[in-house]
Amino acid sequence: MKSNQQNIMVLWYQIRQGVEWRLRFASERLRVFRYKISGVVIGEKSTFQKGITFIYGWRTRFGKECVVDAYAQFKCPTSVDSGIQYNIYIEDNVFIGRGTIIDSNLSIKIGKGTFIAPYCFITDTNHRFTSADIPIRSQGWEYKPVRIEEDVWVGAHVVIVAGVMIGKGSVVAANSTVTNDVPPGVVVGGSPARIIKYRPGYEL
């Protein structure tokens, strides 16, 4: 009798797990479908978790096999260069961590195989503050493209500001602020981020 009860419990657990997996799969496919009909370009086998936000999603493009974790935000409120088709251009096999915000009014491009950890902020927009006689809020904006090349690891809570280029194979330590270009194959950290060391194979 005890053995039969155990078998029934195991069978029930397997059935429940199977149903839950199918529901999660169906929910994810529904999310992808909803994003696509809103204009987001999504490559094959890319997956999206819950709570992701797009503002003017038709200005965002994902390559194949990307993974976007929950509550990430992709914001393209304006497009200051009509010659650029996608404000946010993400190549194949990129991971975007939970709660990360990518905010573009011009152009942000992320290379293939890049890993962006949770709660990062990436923007191509900055306030102007050149005049002491005009409130900063009234001085307008400036826009500079951001480029993150392939195989980059961006640690958690990193801020990447307008005009920055991060070279192939580089690593940005958690809690850093990247304000200047980063050469290929280096580890940088701090606020502002500075070179800590070169990765093996990238030494000068």
- Residues identified as active-site: 127
d(CA 119, CA 101): 7
d(CA 136, CA 74): 25
**What is the amino acid identity at position 91?**
E
Distances (CA, A) of 71 to 74, 91, 118, 119: 10, 20, 10, 9
Query: % helix / strand / coil in the chain, to the nearest 5?
Result: 20, 30, 50
